[in-house]
Amino acid sequence: MVQMTGELQLKLEEKKGRTIAKDAYFQGALKVMRPIYLDDSGQVCYYILNPGGGYLDGDRYKMQFALEKQARATITTQSSTKVYKTPNDHAYQEAEIIIKDGSYLEYLPDPLIAYRDAKYKQKNVFRMDRTSALLYSDIITPGWCPEGKHFSYESVQLINEMYMDEELVVYDHLKLTPSKQELHGLGYMEGYTHLGSMFIIGEKVDNSLIDRLYEAIYENTDDYKVGLSKLPIPGVTIRIVANSTQLLEQLFSKCHLLITEEWFETKPSFLRKY
C-alpha cells in the first residue's frame, strides 16, 4: 500500500440555507482551514493548506470533495502548488470530486509552479449529476531557473476525467515534456510560457453564454491567445496561453464574474490571500 504524504476528505451538505461540513478528515501534509462565509448566500469557502511548503520527490497526495444535494461551495488553496526537483520519482496528486443534484462547486486552486527538474502528475475525477454545476480552473507556471530557461521542468501531466450520471463525458489529458517536445513551437505553447484552463459545466451553459464568455476575454492582442471549445454536455472549456500568471488570473476572473452574475445574480467574493 502506498504511503500518502497527505490526505484530505471533505463532505458538505446544505442545511437551513447554509452549506456546512458533514464530515472532514485530513492527515499528513494536507490541512483545511475553518469554513468561511464570504457573503449571505450560504455558499461556504474552504482553503486547503500544505504546511510542507511544496511537493518533493515521491510525494503522494489524495483528496476527496463531496457535495450533497443543493450544496454550494468554493474550494481553493492558500497559495500556489510548488513542485521542486524530483530526481527519483514524480510527485503525484489525485482528487475525486462528487457533485450531486442541484449542487454547485467552484474548485479554484492557485497556480501550479514547476521548478527545474520537476516531475509532476495530477489526476482529477469529477462525478456529477445532470442538475449539478462546476467551475474549475488550473494554471501551469514555469518556476525560476538559474539559467533563465522557461521550461526547465522534466514533465507536467494533468488529467481530468468528468462523469455525468456515471458516464464518462469529458477526458482531458495535458502533458508537457520539454525534453521531448518543442514547447515554443506551433501546436504547443507557441512562444508563450504560461497555460491556463477553465471548465464551466452546468445546464445553463448554452451558445449564448459561450459567446458572452468569448466577448468578455477576447482581445486582438499578442499578449495572449484564447480558445473556447463546447463540450458534449452543457459546458465549455477555455484555454489561454500567456506570459504571466496575473494576466491569466485576470481573464479567468472575468469569466468567474460573468458566470456568477448570470447564474446567481451576484458577484464572486474576493478570495484574499495575503
Confidence (pLDDT) at 1: 65
Confidence (pLDDT) at 145: 77
Average pLDDT of span 66-85:
96
Domain boundary assignment for the chain: 7-194
pLDDT at 195 over 90: yes
**% of the chain beyond a pLDDT of 90:** 88
Candidate from 58-72, 140-154, 208-222 with smallest mean pLDDT: 140-154
Average pLDDT for the chain: 94
pLDDT at 217 over 70: yes
- Confidence band, pLDDT 50/70/90 cuts, at residue 186: confident
- Confidence band, pLDDT 50/70/90 cuts, at residue 104: very high
pLDDT at 273 over 80: no
Confidence (pLDDT) at 270: 74
Candidate from 144-153, 219-228, 241-250, 258-267 with smallest mean pLDDT: 144-153
Confidence (pLDDT) at 114: 96
Confidence (pLDDT) at 268: 86
Average pLDDT of span 16-43:
95
Whole-number Å distance between alpha carbons of 258 and 256? 6
pLDDT at 257 over 60: yes
pLDDT at 130 over 70: yes
- Confidence band, pLDDT 50/70/90 cuts, at residue 256: very high
Whole-number Å distance between alpha carbons of 36 and 42? 10
Confidence (pLDDT) at 272: 61
